[in-house]
Structure 1
């Protein structure tokens, strides 16, 4: 069996590595001349509107998936007419536009921050009058890792945000004073079976995920709400594969921030600390296989390496740390790898984490 993957970054790399023990071949399709996934699997280079190259890509593929949600919907639909695409192209359409996404979630009864669509300066001024300060102004498409957005707290920031982001479709969202940030990672197979991983607690800085912890501090009520939301989205979209929804925790409630129709950074710890990783379960679902257990093996912390990798010998000296280098060149603000800390001793884990943050302090 061969599964095609649109995109050639670290998620495609980890999907390919997870597929190998299942005797599933992978092939990536990537416009960029360099790709860290190409270090471990076959690659075809081409633009997403190059249908001749895409036709070559799908030859011999039993199904196709993707590693990021900005694959052009026309490309996904064209492929789906020839080879099954999982998750379905409709999941891409919903997640590519923040207005469509939040409307979709609200229609399912999933609470989100209040928002307004912004297509002009008049829309912007009216939305501020209605929702007030503070708020978050975002592009409706293509934003990730804090790009294409700005938190606005004052009249001065209001003008800066419009100068920076105005002139394209935007969304103005109510700023939510959350207690915690969480994500749910769920997977659904072709027989409609659903499995979910434990709710994950996340910490971001400058819009980039820095740290994920499992199990989280979430209540049983919040865990139930997260599972219910994931199941509702998957059923509505006739979903196959891994789905991630990010939430704000507010008291006992959960408000959805955004969804990602793919494997997710906050679930990288599953490679080492779950019975079946999110990557293997995604490959299983896309390939038509039964899902593996999502049980957490032991408490875990995942730390993102931003800009560069830490010293391998120093950070792994304890024997309890898993070191994942994505094979990328160093660059400020770039995710180049992650660490998985699985210490039974929380004091030792705290000490190692402190060492990690000190070493990484200047890499952003």
Structure 2
């Protein structure tokens, strides 16, 4: 699309991926007068419920990708594991953000090296391509640690926690490129979520303190507390440099550990993020609307937090079957169910956001 002229109402936004993030992006786009079409392999594509059209085709189907792109005025994505080969089949002038962000984020080694060059501090790590590499990584980095596949994997998938060198002997190398990371002693985890417009303007949302269980986010709280507040500016500086270095357009998320010696980078997501779901009710402009604004060339909206206290929690698995009971709770909870057809263990089915003018949080 033209770098200066914003997309006019009625234009079409293409979304690669069919999950809940695509669903919420499409809902935000519709409010701004755009139509959306999606593209993803066949499956439980809940984004299709709110798209004008949806292509259920494989990532390697070049003809289908070309037909999809021919209907779009701009193309973005809702998750970072869209194969680069599929993205490269889309005309470059339609894409936002630049695919370079996917190239970096899809490989954990490339990601860490990229941010380290910008001054970020990471946990100690080593590349692992074989059983021998794994043994050497244990010796050099030490234990406890985590073995992760270099590509793919999210919400704790493709990860093996290792408490000791003895325990490592019982972990079978998965036979694909991996990275071994030493564990970080931290007080809490937090996210830095920004939006960068086409002209280079960067806005940040307030950072939430995040709680994970089994590698999956379960809760995001604001305010994040004094430790995060003391470290967030340094983390924002890394995030801003990352966005600028990538020529990024849209919403970008970097996750950090808040440690006694400062922020330690964990990972990057070149997309809207689970820890930013609270922005729908809790911020002047949600992460979803601002991503749409950015990729369409519209002025960015304000990112100010609207409430003194915000608590966002994921709804996982069969808890979704009784989630409507949340609506009877005091405090006007904001319930979001994603329309997924199968409620299984470990699957994100929705989220609930509670906002308050007080400042009282309860851990799950």
Q: What TM-score range do you get, normalising by the shorter chain? A: over 0.9
**CA distance, structure 1, for counterparts of residue 327 and residue 198 of structure 2:** 39
Partner of 2:3: none
Partner of 1:103: 113
**CA distance, structure 2, for counterparts of residue 19 and residue 45 of structure 1:** 21
Please say if 1:61 is aligned against 2:72.
Answer: yes
**CA distance, structure 2, for counterparts of residue 337 and residue 302 of structure 1:** 11
- RMSD over aligned Cα atoms: 1.5
1:287-340 superposed Cα distances (whole Å, 9 cap, x missing partner): 011100000000211000010316345312225200000001211110000000
Structure 1 contact 138–149 (Cα < 8 Å) conserved: yes
**CA distance, structure 1, for counterparts of residue 291 and residue 169 of structure 2:** 43
**CA distance, structure 2, for counterparts of residue 77 and residue 112 of structure 1:** 30
Q: Residues 278-297 of structure 1: matches in 2 within 5 Å?
A: 278-297=287-306
Give the TM-score of the pair, scaled to structure 1. Answer: 0.92
Partner of 1:158: 168
Q: Which residue of 261, 264, 267 corresponds with 2:276?
A: 267
Task: Give 3-state SS (helix, strand or coil) of 2:267's partner.
Answer: strand
Partner of 2:13: 3
Q: Which residue of 117, 129, 133 corresponds with 1:119?
A: 129
Describe the shift of the 1:151–1:214 C-alpha distance in structure 2 as closer, same or farther (beyond 3 A). same
Structure 1 contact 118–172 (Cα < 8 Å) conserved: yes
**CA distance, structure 1, for counterparts of residue 206 and residue 79 of structure 2:** 23
Q: Which residue of 146, 152, 170 corresponds with 2:178?
A: 170
Q: Which residue of 252, 256, 271 corresponds with 2:265?
A: 256
**CA distance, structure 1, for counterparts of residue 323 and residue 139 of structure 2:** 52
Structure 1 contact 219–252 (Cα < 8 Å) conserved: no
Alpha-carbon distance, 1:155 to partner: 2.8
Structure 2 contact 147–161 (Cα < 8 Å) conserved: yes
Structure 1 contact 4–58 (Cα < 8 Å) conserved: yes
Give structure 1 regions of 4+ aligned residues with deviation exceeding 4 angstroms.
none
Partner of 2:87: 76
Please say if 1:342 is aligned against 2:351.
Answer: no
Describe the shift of the 1:252–1:220 C-alpha distance in structure 2 as closer, same or farther (beyond 3 A). farther
Alpha-carbon distance, 1:346 to partner: 5.2
Unaligned runs of 5+ in 2: 1-10
Partner of 2:326: 315
Q: Residues 155-234 of structure 1: matches in 2 within 5 Å?
A: 155-161=165-171, 163=172, 165-217=173-225, 218-234=227-243
Describe the shift of the 1:63–1:173 C-alpha distance in structure 2 as closer, same or farther (beyond 3 A). same
Describe the shift of the 1:312–1:123 C-alpha distance in structure 2 as closer, same or farther (beyond 3 A). closer
Describe the shift of the 1:313–1:130 C-alpha distance in structure 2 as closer, same or farther (beyond 3 A). closer
Q: Which residue of 9, 19, 22 corresponds with 2:32?
A: 22
Unaligned runs of 5+ in 1: 358-364
Alpha-carbon distance, 1:157 to partner: 1.8
Structure 1 contact 221–252 (Cα < 8 Å) conserved: no
Structure 2 contact 190–228 (Cα < 8 Å) conserved: no
Alpha-carbon distance, 1:103 to partner: 0.7
Task: Give 3-state SS (helix, strand or coil) of 1:52's partner.
Answer: helix
**CA distance, structure 2, for counterparts of residue 65 and residue 10 of structure 1:** 15
1:143-188 superposed Cα distances (whole Å, 9 cap, x missing partner): 1010111111113320232x1x432111011111111100010000
Alpha-carbon distance, 1:49 to partner: 0.9
Alpha-carbon distance, 1:345 to partner: 4.6
Structure 1 contact 222–252 (Cα < 8 Å) conserved: no
**CA distance, structure 2, for counterparts of residue 160 and residue 147 of structure 1:** 18
